[in-house]
Amino acid sequence: MQLQIVPASAGIQWAKQGMRTFWRQPLAMSGLFFLFMATVSVVSIVPFIGSALALVVLPALTLGMMAATKTASEGKFPMPAVLYLAFKKGPQRKTMFQLGAWYALIFLVVMLLSTLADGGTFAKVYFGGAPMTPEVVTADSFQTALWISMLFYVPLSMMFWHAPALVHWYGLPAAKSLFFSFMACWRNLRAFIVYVMAWGVIFLGTGVLALLIASLMGNPQLMTAAFVPMALMVAAMFFSSMLFSVRDCFAIDLTDEQTSPNPSGSE
């Protein structure tokens, strides 16, 4: 496994490839994304541990979306079972759950740090334990907690961006996958900045389009009805683009078979 440095323009290409792949199998990719969201929602309602358990399964479900993208990019129809690929019995299943446990632990630490700013209001809103009212959202303490959580979530996201793919397709242990994922994002930071900006523009454009549709229909209340399905579709496209950053940042083509760790593959 060899880490590659890509130009900043690669970020645009990842977004384009994600959208192109989505439209190859729009029904399948939309359905899988809804199934992704439904699975997280169902797991989160487990008493006492639901919120933490939902965080644990996120890396595994993200791997499922990557696998579905791989199938769709080959012109095939990804079946629902591909979303749960990481849960199948195999040498990487235990490692994937270790990855999920690390994600849940670090994420909860980030939420804990945010409570230092607002006494836990932001965390309660995030986990659904408090309503998101204009008064709450505009409070200075809430805004500070939001920025603190975002500041610490960026390195967390970098650590886990490629990690599920590195565990499943490259056979790396959890700790190494987190290290190489972070390094891949850091060494290709310009490409990822462009990538994030591209999706920001796409989401913003979705909101403008929804507003335009509502205006043409003469009913501003239709904006929400138009925006929600469009935003979910764009989110599905976003998940469909993640795989291409893995393919470009690491110099090995992904295969259907899981591989053994390569001790010499540092960079």
Whether residue 146 is contained in a domain is answered as yes
Answer whether residue 183 is part of any domain.
yes
* Cβ 8 vs Cβ 191: under 8 Å: yes
| Within a domain: 262 | no
Count of alpha carbons within 13 angstroms of residue 99, beta-carbon side: 35
Provide the pLDDT for residue 138: 86
Whether residue 201 is contained in a domain is answered as yes
Q: Looking at the domain assignment, is residue 256 inside a domain?
A: no
Structural domains in the chain (count): 1
pLDDT in tens, the chain (267 residues): 788 999 999 999 999 999 999 999 999 999 999 999 999 999 999 888 988 999 999 999 999 999 999 999 999 999 999 999 999 878 889 999 999 999 999 999 999 999 998 888 898 888 877 788 888 888 899 999 999 999 999 999 999 999 999 999 989 999 999 999 999 999 999 999 999 999 999 999 988 887 887 777 777 677 777 788 888 999 999 999 999 999 999 976 655 444 444 433 433
Query: pTM of the full predicted structure?
Result: 0.87
For residue 181, give its domain range. 10-249
User: DSSP string covering 209-255, please?
Assistant: HHHHHHHHTT-TTHHHHHHHHHHHHHHHHHHHHHHHHHHHHBSS---
92 within domain boundaries: yes
> Residue 21: inside a domain, yes or no?
yes
Residue 226 domain-assigned?
yes
User: What Cα–Cα distance (Å) separates residue 253 from each residue in 31, 248, 250?
Assistant: 26, 9, 8
| Euclidean distance between CA atoms 201 and 197, whole angstroms | 6
Question: How do residues 162-187 score in pLDDT, each as one tens digit?
Answer: 999 999 998 999 999 999 999 999 99
Q: Count other Cβ atoms within 10 Å, centred on residue 226.
A: 18
